[in-house]
Amino acid sequence: MTRAGGWLLAAAALTLPLWLSSAYHLHVAIMAGIFGVLALSLNLLLGFTGQLSLGHAAFFGIGAYTSALLTLKGAWSFWAALAAAVALAGAAGWLVGRLSLKLRGAYFVLVTISFAGVISLVSVNWIELTNGPLGLPGVPAPELFGWSLRSKTAYYYLVLAAIALSYLVCARLVKSRIGRAFVALRENEPLAESVGVDVTHYLVLAAVVSAGMAGLGGSLYAHYTRFVSPEVFLFTYTVTMVVMVVAGGKGTLAGPLVGAVLFTVLPEALRAAASWQWQMLAYGVLLVLLVFFLPRGIVPAVQALRGRDAS
Amino acid sequence: MAELLQHLVNGLVLGGTYALLGIGLTLIFGLMNVVNFAHGEFYTLGAYVAFAALAWAGVDFFVALLMAIAAGAALGWLCEVTLLRPLRGESIDTTMLVMIGVWIAMQNGELLVWGGVAKSIPHPFPTAPLVLGPVAIAPLRIFVLVLAAALIAASWLLIQKTKLGRAMRATFQDRDTAALMGVGIGRIHAATFAFGSGLAAAAGALLGPVFLVYPSMGDLASLKAFSVVILGGLGNLPGATLGGLLLGIVEELGAGYISSGYRDAVGFVIIILVLLFRPSGLFARQERIA
């Protein structure tokens, strides 16, 4: 993306509520933003270290529950709860990372799925804490200096700030020594290890940052929908994140955001034409088609079309 | 004591079908190096075929089971030939993504065809349980256990005693050498995938009448199949059989003595613990097939 294009996009994102007056459209933009944070988070693991986490909904859900419980039962402020959500999700990421030190590929995937499965069962069965399947209604809207961020416009800017933060974290990380270690780990692990890259350390680091970011997305989701139930652990969320990252372009910085916008706006646009099941069916078919015809994703394909080095 | 025996018997019935699921998956995973996340969907398919055959066509239970196996094997073959064959030689992550896509597509296809409401499969067996000493067991469950055992034995014979089985074992040990010796790798892969999918469909058709049939039933089945594979070791058929029985029994005991809400957590915990402490499986000296 050229610098001018980037500024133009940023300006468009900043002024979006001015020319997008409908509350519904703003809602779609907010959801796209939350999923943008989630997709950036998954991409850090899948795109840069090459490890697929199919338990990402667990980190998202841990963030959502932490934030909701602390504000509802602990009467914490939104900002403190948000920080705790990020920290706790990050700690869960650390645990999964440590647990799966030596596991790669399919085995890593299975551990992440299993972890998400256990957490989801806890959320259903630990009724004293989570209220079980009924969920937690009435999660308060955030406040900033005594000013409620209840309105969609205000929340939009909050989510936008979260994306900017996540994007910056990813960009800084990826372009640093750490990011090169991630890519080395993805491309050739024995070689990376032989030149002194501490593979375990970097994989755990990637898992912690990725999980913390997913926790941020979870907290934002909880305080936006104002309701948290075990549905936040639904596999659908993980699948949506995977499709967004794979379609947008894994291992690129802009890819996950492109994927997030596309796969939030598209289903909403198609809502009238196709039911939820048809859309999920289409997701499955689309994932297969992407692997066959656009294996690297939209962003690298566009970059290649423009004759640039697609990196 | 009587309670323990009862749990063991129930666990054995459950475990027999888990073993079927696990054997199918361990062959596919071990031989083709494909992480088949759609495995549970073939289980669901088998259950729905059995439902259609028994509830609508009113055929014999055996015929329904055979129809389920045939449907699972046919769709598995189609899946291999159209999706996996062109990707042979690609990385394991690529085929895994494709199978995740197949999983989502199949599950939502089932949801569209059958609707989300759980269905119960009518079966011809008396519902009054047989009382054998301290243990009571429904005739249907005995039938399920016997058929599962027969199918496991048949799979073992196929792998050990037939020419196809020998070619499969050769491919597992060393694909290139097997190919040089004239084994058609493409044919073996298609046969393996069809065979594994057929076994998964059989498990679905057998367990469907015991429980209920619903579109998302395959998710847990996939995960249980993976825990069985991990317990038994990759490509290890006796390991998968023992692993399946063990999982079924541990689940029953966990549900009976700890908490029924956490029944399905047993499989997850097994995956995590075994991968941490004995990644080659409980029963394996090394990765092998047979």
Flag whether residue B83 sits within 8 Å of chain A, measured between CB atoms.
yes
Q: What is the pLDDT of chain B when averaged over all its residues?
A: 87
Binary contact (B35, A106; C-beta < 8 A): yes
d(CA A68, CA A255): 30
Binary contact (B108, A280; C-beta < 8 A): yes
* Range picked from A129-133, A147-151, A175-179, B188-192 for highest mean pLDDT: B188-192
Which residues, other chains included, contact B225 with Cβ-Cβ below 8 Å and sequence gap of 6+? B18, B21, B22, B24, B25, B39, B40, B43, B200
Binary contact (A287, B101; C-beta < 8 A): yes
CA distance A75 to chain B (A): 30
How confident is residue B288, by pLDDT bands cut at 50, 70 and 90? very low
d(CA B46, CA B57): 15
CA distance A159 to chain B (A): 29
CA distance B163 to chain A (A): 30
Interface subset of B 107-166, CB within 8 angstroms of A:
107-109, 111-112
DSSP assignment of chain B equals -HHHHHHHHHHHHHHHHHHHHHHHHHHHHHHH----TTHHHHHHHHHHHHHIIIIII---HHHHHHHHHHHHHHHHHHHIIIIIGGGTTS-HHHHHHHHHHHHHHHHHHHHHHH-SS-B----SS-SSPEEETTEEE-HHHHHHHHHHHHHHHHHHHHHHHSHHHHHHHHHHH-HHHHHHTT--HHHHHHHHHHHHHHHHHHHHHHHTTTS-B-TTHHHHHHHHHHHHHHHH-TT-HHHHHHHHHHHHHHHHHHHHHT-GGGTTHHHHHHHHHHHHH-TT-SS-SS----
Chain B nearest-CA residue for A52: B93
Flag whether residue B89 sits within 8 Å of chain A, measured between CB atoms.
no
Interface subset of B 253-282, CB within 8 angstroms of A:
259, 261-262, 264-265, 267-269, 271-272, 275-276, 279
Chain A nearest-CA residue for B107: A281
For A269, the token pair is 């646009």
Q: What is the pLDDT of residue B231?
A: 85
DSSP 8-state secondary structure symbol assigned to residue A294: -
Indicate the residue of A118, A283, A288 with minimum beta-carbon distance to B83: A288
- Answer yes or no: are the C-beta atoms of A229 and A75 closer than 8 Å: no
| CA-wise closest residue to B223 among B23, B68, B22, B17 | B22
Q: Is the pLDDT of residue B76 over 90?
A: yes
Which chain A residues contact residue B258 at CB under 8 A?
Answer: none
Tell me if B276 is assigned to some domain.
no
Structure confidence by residue, pLDDT tens digits, A36-93: 999 999 999 888 888 888 889 999 999 999 999 999 888 888 899 999 999 999 999 9
Indicate the residue of B96, B102, B219 with minimum beta-carbon distance to A235: B219
Which residues, other chains included, contact A110 with Cβ-Cβ below 8 Å and sequence gap of 6+? B226, B230, B271, B275
CA distance A40 to chain B (A): 19
Structure confidence by residue, pLDDT tens digits, A11-44: 887 778 777 778 888 899 999 999 999 999 999 9
Q: Count of residues for chain B?
A: 290
d(CA A132, CA A123): 6
Q: Is the pLDDT of residue A308 over 60?
A: no
Flag whether residue B5 sits within 8 Å of chain A, measured between CB atoms.
no
- The amino acid occupying position B270 is I
A-to-B residue pairs, Cβ atoms closer than 8 angstroms: 113
Tell me if B59 is assigned to some domain.
yes
| CA-wise closest residue to A59 among A97, A28, A31, A30 | A97
Chain B nearest-CA residue for A51: B93
Q: How many separate helices (H) and strands (E) can be counted in chain A?
A: 14, 4
Question: Domain count of chain B?
Answer: 1
Q: What is the pLDDT of residue A310?
A: 43
Q: B91 phi and psi, to 5 degrees?
A: -70, 160
d(CA B199, CA B36): 14
Indicate the residue of B104, B276, B279 with minimum beta-carbon distance to A239: B104
B11-34: burial string, b at 16+ Cβ within 10 Å, e else: bbbbbbbbbbbbbbbbbbbbbbbb
CA distance B75 to chain A (A): 16
The bridge status of strand A147-148 relative to strand B135-137 is unpaired
Tell me if B262 is assigned to some domain.
no
Tell me if B272 is assigned to some domain.
no
Chain B nearest-CA residue for A275: B112
Mean pLDDT value of segment B187-198: 93
Indicate the residue of A118, A280, A287 with minimum beta-carbon distance to B268: A118
Q: Is the ipTM beyond the 0.85 threshold?
A: no
Interface subset of B 36-65, CB within 8 angstroms of A:
none
Binary contact (A114, B262; C-beta < 8 A): no
User: How remote is the C-alpha of A66 from its chain's centroid?
Assistant: 17
> Which residues form the domain of B55?
17-217
Give the 3-state secondary structure of residue A227: strand
Binary contact (A118, B103; C-beta < 8 A): no
Q: What is the pLDDT of residue A1?
A: 52
Q: What is the pLDDT of residue B72?
A: 96
Tell me if B143 is assigned to some domain.
yes
- Torsion angle (degrees, nearest 10) of CA B148, B153, B155, B159: 160
Tell me if B222 is assigned to some domain.
no
| CA-wise closest residue to B167 among B198, B191, B139 | B191
Q: Which residue has the tokens 């541990």?
A: B250
CA distance A37 to chain B (A): 22
Interface test with chain B among A283, A285, A291, by most B beta carbons within 10 Å: A291
Tell me if B172 is assigned to some domain.
yes
Which chain A residues contact residue B108 at CB under 8 A?
Answer: 277-278, 280-281, 284
Q: A137 phi and psi, to 5 degrees?
A: -85, 165
Chain B nearest-CA residue for A125: B261
* Range picked from A92-96, A125-129, A301-305, B253-257 for highest mean pLDDT: A92-96
d(CA B66, CA B147): 12
d(CA B270, CA B22): 14
Tell me if B258 is assigned to some domain.
no
Mean pLDDT value of segment A201-222: 92
Any idea which of A7-11, A96-100, A271-275 has the lowest mean pLDDT? A271-275
CA distance B123 to chain A (A): 30
Q: What is the pLDDT of residue B284?
A: 58
- Answer yes or no: are the C-beta atoms of B258 and B207 closer than 8 Å: no
Mean pLDDT value of segment B41-48: 95
